[in-house]
Amino acid sequence: MDFGGINPVILIAGLMATSVPILLAALGEAVVERSGVLNLGVEGMMIVGALGGFVVAVHTGSPFAGFLGGAVAGAALSLIFAALTQVFLANQVATGLALTLFGLGLSSLGGQGYNGIKPPHTVGLLPDALAKIPVAGPILFGHDWVVYFSILMTAATWYVLKFTRVGLIIRAVGENHDAAHALGYKVNRIRLLCIMFGGAMAGIGGAYISLVRVPQWVDGITAGAGWIALAIVVFASWRPWRVLAGAWLFGGISVLQLNLQAAGSAIPVEYLSMAPYLLTIVVLVIMSSGRGKASMGAPASLGQNFHAAR
């Protein structure tokens, strides 16, 4: 059952795994932006998480500890952003860019000596017998635990944002920080926690790249995944399930272009590897233009710092 040398079952199974890093990072960023903070440092937090996860996994021999390490590394880096924007009231766009530049440098500095090492293998969650069922097996049961975790996190983020008090407070802070402050909520403290959540999620996403996708340490390993995650948040109009759809769409394009390369397509390799980035632009255009739909979904206080006069 192949189409032009590409097996659709493997394609679908592949895209679910490929999209994990951008899905996790985008979910984190969606929460951050829902609280009214625009953190452009996702790429930096991802790559530091990728390194942190890799180093911890190599030294402990446990991939789970690695993912935990990635989360801690990402959250730690996001603390710099939180301190600058929430305490020192620095411009969020500039600080986010700085975070990315700093993270890229820091990871390439810290990653020296880790090239060419193989990290411990992240195992599948379910018994192999299930994964051997034709068609449904590889798609539903053949993944490692992080894939299921990412889908679980999508549901959790959606539930918390939509149905819980915590979610309501986060959205209030993001929509109108003055009103939230007047109600007695600590705007900057809530935002700080959201930023750290975003950092941890980006870190886990980064760790998935260095521990499962590649799996080894290479300089600049994230290759723009953090920026694609940012684009997906806009694409998804800040809604978790649409983030999942967006991430799978991009994962699908990435897997498809790799498969086309492997199948010896007539299109040159360079043009195929452009595809995910070009698609990001196309999707942004579609989402932004449709009668201002995307801008209607944006949190009203997005990107504005809050300073309590009293």
For binding to another protein (CB under 8 A), which residues are involved? 40, 80, 83-84, 88-91, 93-95, 97-98, 101-106, 108-109, 112, 223-224, 227-228, 230-231, 234, 268, 270-271, 273-274, 277-278, 280-281, 284-285, 288-289, 292, 295, 307, 309
| Residues making up the chain, counted from first to last | 310
Nearest distance, CB of residue 82 and another protein, angstroms: 12
Nearest distance, CB of residue 200 and another protein, angstroms: 20
Vertex 100: Cα angle to 96 and 101 (nearest 5) = 115
- Whichever of 8 and 290 has its CB closer to another protein, that residue is 290
Nearest distance, CB of residue 94 and another protein, angstroms: 6
Q: Which residues contact 107 (CB under 8 A, 6 or more apart)?
A: 47, 48, 50, 51, 219, 221
For residue 297, CA distances in Å to 94, 166, 195, 234 come to: 23, 20, 20, 9
- Whichever of 182 and 274 has its CB closer to another protein, that residue is 274
The span from the CA of 19 to the CA of 248, in Å, is 6
Nearest distance, CB of residue 93 and another protein, angstroms: 6
- Whichever of 71 and 99 has its CB closer to another protein, that residue is 99
Nearest distance, CB of residue 172 and another protein, angstroms: 23
Q: Hunting for tokens 């992080």 — which residue is that?
A: 146
The Cα diameter of the chain in Å comes to 67
Q: Hunting for tokens 């009293």 — which residue is that?
A: 310
- Whichever of 132 and 293 has its CB closer to another protein, that residue is 293
Burial 205-240 (b: 16+ CB within 10 A, else e): bbbbbbbbeebebbeebbeebbbbbbbbbbbbbbbb
Whether 75 and 207 have beta carbons less than 8 Å apart is answered as no
Nearest distance, CB of residue 263 and another protein, angstroms: 19
The span from the CA of 293 to the CA of 297, in Å, is 7
Nearest distance, CB of residue 175 and another protein, angstroms: 20
- Whichever of 174 and 226 has its CB closer to another protein, that residue is 226
Through-space distance between the first and last CA atoms of the chain, rounded to whole angstroms: 67
- Whichever of 193 and 283 has its CB closer to another protein, that residue is 283
Nearest distance, CB of residue 184 and another protein, angstroms: 18
- Whichever of 207 and 232 has its CB closer to another protein, that residue is 232
- The token duo for 15 is 């895209």
- Whichever of 16 and 38 has its CB closer to another protein, that residue is 38
Whether 24 and 206 have beta carbons less than 8 Å apart is answered as no
